[in-house]
Amino acid sequence: MLAVDIAKNIREKEKRLRESGLVSQSIDPGPADSAIFEVANGMSIAADMAKHGVKWVTADKSPGSRKTGAEKLRARLTASQQFPMEEPGIFIFEDCRQWIRCVPVLPRDPQDTDDVDSRERLATTALFSFIGAEPASEWLSGFAALDDRGFVLTDRSLGREHLNGRWEALGRSPLPFETSYPGLFAVGDVRSGSTKRVAAAVGEGSASVRSVHDYLAFGYRA
């Protein structure tokens, strides 16, 4: 689901809560992981969502923030049971499946029950390590320009030496996220210069849709 779609769903839920009288007309921005504020090609997930009326503030990850966050969560869960609400509350919807699956069963630190035990051993079925990740872009070699590490070059990273006669015929420069081959776009970890984070990759994928629409709307062809 794209960031804009998530924002629209949040706005719809906020509207229903206002109409029910459970919350006031004013809803303050909530905390979010700093990754959604990372900017790629002048765009970010936070900015995309803000355009649709959903704003965030950077989450506090300083020492002791887990304890503070847990205490605030308990206070807001308690406040949300009051009607009418007099203090800020929190509502967990039934479709917040990952929150329901993970948060209530977080292990407690036996030495400090107000904190999470980050040393807890959990049974798993698989372990994925991405240390030293490679772009795996060999199949694009000779088709789209790559940097010296094999990552795909796009838009501003492309020099004149990367743009052949096709671009002269089109009479334009590459669109955001467009590779040296007109109409071929690259986002996420495989793109040269990208932030190697899942949230950043999702944001780039969302942002690249605009470029794809522009390419199709103007009838660009390779």
What pTM did the predictor assign?
0.42
- Averaged pLDDT for residues 136-144: 85
Q: Report yes or no: 81 and 75 within 8 Å, Cβ to Cβ.
A: no
Name the range with the highest mean pLDDT among 22-26, 63-67, 136-140, 179-183.
179-183
Q: Report yes or no: 195 and 36 within 8 Å, Cβ to Cβ.
A: no
Residue ranges per domain, the chain? 3-116, 138-217
Task: Give 59's contacts (C-beta < 8 A, 6+ positions apart).
Answer: 31, 32, 33, 34, 65
Domain 138-217, CATH number (from 2.60.120.380, 2.60.40.10, 3.30.1600.10, 3.50.50.60):
3.50.50.60
The mean pLDDT value of the chain amounts to 83
Name the range with the highest mean pLDDT among 78-82, 100-104, 175-179.
175-179
Where residue 130 falls among pLDDT bands split at 50, 70, 90?
low
Task: Give 13's contacts (C-beta < 8 A, 6+ positions apart).
Answer: 93
Where residue 120 falls among pLDDT bands split at 50, 70, 90?
low
Amino acid at 195: T
- 6 vs 27, residue with greater confidence: 6
